[in-house]
A and B are shown apart, each in its own frame.
Chain A
């Protein structure tokens, strides 16, 4: 039995409280992080391990809702452990807690839910827990949202969940779907951007919205970023790159399907 989503321990009435695994090779750091997490009402149990190997051993016997990981550790590093966790059938969300920004990009690649810097502020840690909780609740089902589209005098209904990306065309927006079809609707892109933000549509370019759930790859070459949805590669403008990274990191493991690396 390995990782899990929200099957955690039932912490009395109401919402089940999180069971958290904390891994850090430095005792004072481990104590502090365990203490701060334990003080959080949303956390039910904290399991502390002083090495990545111990962490893995624990995960073999116990189920946890999320993992807080130091990066620089002797033997198996935090990044390596996160990679192993990523192969679990249901990877537990990972939050990196580390002294330096240096590894932020790697952490992003590993779809970490959050990245917290040491020394740790309680408010910042609380935010990380919030992101873990946000990520473990199943993404809002949008399949029931049907969009009326007209083509050749026939009105059809398209599931919003099937839409991979939206392209601006003047006052119209072209909806691209998983089946490769495209439909024009008379709605400005900015309106869709606002109304569909909840459903995971994100602005990546002056004329593009992308459904984060359909993003399989983020590429970054010579300073230019692009995302892949299905067989299509979409450019991400410089202005939107940072926001996209942030939102992907936050949604990692939840809305974003794992890419075959």
Chain B
């Protein structure tokens, strides 16, 4: 109970009582909605925080180790990589804002891939094909990055072969469509289904998190679509509306 609604009149009529009741119900309904909204926002903030905390220690220390090696063999490259590393972590540790533009998210992904390519060399082949029209589209912060990290990991795990990674973004009228695809080990679709359902036991924690935030932002029609099978590589498709009410970077 938060408070009371009182009506003052010279005499009580059935109509007035009903009207008062209606007003009280409406107010309490609105209050509940506001609370739900606040709760939802807190949840999303917590999830983004969790995701940010997930920047893999393996990635951090292996990158620094590679840079340490280049300091000796190729100092210019070491310096360049160090700057990329700084910018990448700065973006990922960013504190403000639930949303970002695809342009910013993709720029950060490019940096991430540069660092990974420094570590893995020719074993990691990347193709980027981005339609410039979709760059200003607003999306949840860190909603593509985890998909790319998964793709790199899966791609390289395909026993000793080269990991081919493709990132496509195209314009589809009122929507933007992004695809992150690798030629790696693939995954059992049942496990993917469970990861999307939020089963934290699986190692693709990022997948469930991204899916939940896309749905929370754009509605249930905009969940992730994952096409995969063991040994057949993985393709994750993200569809987002170009404009959505209340979604601004």
Residues of A within 8 Å of B158, CB to CB, are: 74
Is B69 touching A31 in the complex (CB atoms < 8 A)? yes
Known contacts A26-B119, A99-B57; decide if A32 and B65 are in contact (CB<8 Å): yes
Closest to B158 in A: A74
Give the total of A residues in contact with B, Cβ under 8 Å.
20
Q: Is A243 an interface residue (CB 8 A)?
A: no
With a CB–CB cut-off of 8 A, which chain A residues contact B94?
none
Q: Say whether A28 faces chain B, with CB atoms less than 8 Å apart.
A: yes
Interface SS majority for chain A: loop
B54 at the interface (CB under 8 A from A): no
Minimal Cβ-Cβ distance residue in B for A54: B160
> How many Å from the CB of B138 to the closest CB on chain A?
35
Is the C-beta of A100 less than 8 angstroms from some C-beta in chain B?
A: yes
| CB-defined contacts of B72 to chain A, threshold 8 Å | 32, 35
The CB with the most chain B CB atoms within 10 A, among A72, A100, A102, is that of: A100
Which among A28, A119, A120 is the interface contact of B119 at CB below 8 angstroms?
A28
List B contacts of A118 (CB < 8 A): 61-62, 64-65
A105 to B120, CA, bound (A): 27
Find out whether the CB atom of A29 lies under 8 angstroms from the CB atom of B65: yes
Out of B57, B58, B69, name the residue touching A28 (CB < 8 Å): B69
**In the bound complex, what is the Cα–Cα distance between A102 and B56 (angstroms)?**
12
Report the Cα distance A198→B157, complex, angstroms.
46
For the complex, give the distance between the alpha carbons of A224 and B70 in Å.
Answer: 45
Is A53 in the interface zone, CB < 8 Å from B?
A: yes
* Bound CA span A29–B69, Å: 7
Q: How far is the CA of A91 from the CA of B64 in the complex (A)?
A: 32
Asked whether B65 lies within 8 Å of A99 as measured between CB atoms, the reply is yes
- Per the 8 Å Cβ criterion, residues 92-149 of A in contact with B are 99-100, 102, 117-120
B219 at the interface (CB under 8 A from A): no
Q: With A74-B157, A119-B64 in contact, is A26–B120 under 8 Å at CB?
A: yes
A29: chain B residues at CB < 8 Å are 62, 65-66, 69, 119
Quick check: A74 and B66 within 8 Å, CB to CB? no
Cα A27 to Cα B121 with chains together (Å): 7
Task: Determine which of A28, A35, A72 lies in contact with B65 in the assembled complex, contact meaning CB atoms within 8 Å.
Answer: A28
With A72-B58, A74-B158 as given contacts, are A32 and B68 in contact (CB-CB < 8 Å)?
yes
Q: Which residues of B contact A35 (CB under 8 A)?
A: 69, 72
For residue A55, give the distance in angstroms from its CB to the closest CB of chain B: 13
Q: What 5 new A-B contacts, CB under 8 Å, besides A99-B60, A118-B64?
A: A28-B66, A29-B119, A35-B69, A35-B72, A99-B57
